[in-house]
Amino acid sequence: MDNFSIVTGAMIQLSSPFRLIHVIKRLPDFQLRPHSHNFFHIIFVTSGTLEVDIKGSTHIIHENHAVILPPYVPHALNSKKGYCQIGVDIFDTEENDLCALLNQTFPSGFSIVKMHLLPTHFEEMIKSVRDLTKLNLLKLQNNAEALVLSFIEQASDTADKSFRDRFLDMIAHDDGLTFTLTQMCSYLNISKTHLERLVHDEFECSAVEYYNKLKIMKACFLLQNSESSIRDISEKLGFYDESHFTRFFKKSMGITPSNYRNTSRTPL
């Protein structure tokens, strides 16, 4: 059963492309069952914690973090201890530059970004919604846009500054080095064009080329230091079959996996 309990706050209608701004303090044991909507919903958590269930996973949104929920993707919200939020709804209109930036920055839709929001920010907005003059309504409109732009900027800065670490973490997570380019983009939450640019800047090659280099290094290590069969190694590294692995290895090393294993183990 849903529990919509609100201690204080309001939902105020804004001008396009915005729909509403939600300045709300939720009571403990807040629950909202799976639902979806036809607009972006960005939740800025200023205190407390919020749980988001989406695509079979549960994500905890802590204080000073924000989450973007894309259009038409079912999700549920829960909070055991309650939380304060500034929420912004944005219609996904093709002709709007802000929507274009959201789609470009968050190609997979869902994302969590660390922000720098203080509880005082929430309190200031509460004052505005309680005294909804034309001036305060205009302030809310401007604050909503400023928050979303800051959200986009913070997400872009975080992606660029820590890309190398995030890319290497992905490789460590992908033990068999089997990720496709599409899976890499999904894991890193960036577009293919952006991924290729960042990888080239860091490693002076494409993402697939870098992955292939790592596969060769791992294949050489396994051939030299393990008793695994060539078939097992090919499966571990995500090749279709042993023949596919052999062609890939010979193209890079100029020698078959079997010959490499024999020569690398030949005593001096």
Q: Is the entire prediction scored with pTM above 0.85? A: no
Peptide bond into 34 cis (omega under 30): no
pLDDT per position as a tens digit, 58-99: 888 988 889 999 899 999 999 999 999 999 999 988 778 888
The answer to whether 82 and 26 are in contact (CB under 8 A) is: yes
**Stretch (H or E) spanning 25:** strand 18-26
CA–CA distance, 7 with 167 (Å, rounded to integer): 42
The whole-number pLDDT of residue 37 equals: 92
pLDDT per position as a tens digit, 35-47: 999 999 999 999 8
Domain boundaries, the chain: 6-161, 163-264
Sheet holding 111-114, edge to edge: 6-13, 18-26, 83-91, 39-48, 65-69, 111-114
Dihedral sign, Cα of residue 48, residue 60, residue 43, residue 30:
negative
148: its two tokens? 């979303």
76: its two tokens? 């549920």
Nearest to 102 by CA among 65, 147, 50, 46: 147
165: its two tokens? 């670490």
Give me the residues paired with residue 58 across strands.
53
Overall fold of domain 6-161? Jelly Rolls (2.60.120)
Averaged pLDDT for residues 96-118: 82
CA–CA distance, 51 with 47 (Å, rounded to integer): 13
Look up the CATH number of domain 163-264: 1.10.10.60
The answer to whether 112 and 66 are in contact (CB under 8 A) is: yes
CA–CA distance, 71 with 76 (Å, rounded to integer): 14
The whole-number pLDDT of residue 166 equals: 81
Judged against a pLDDT cut of 50, whether residue 25 lies above it is answered with yes
The whole-number pLDDT of residue 8 equals: 61
Mean pLDDT of the chain: 86
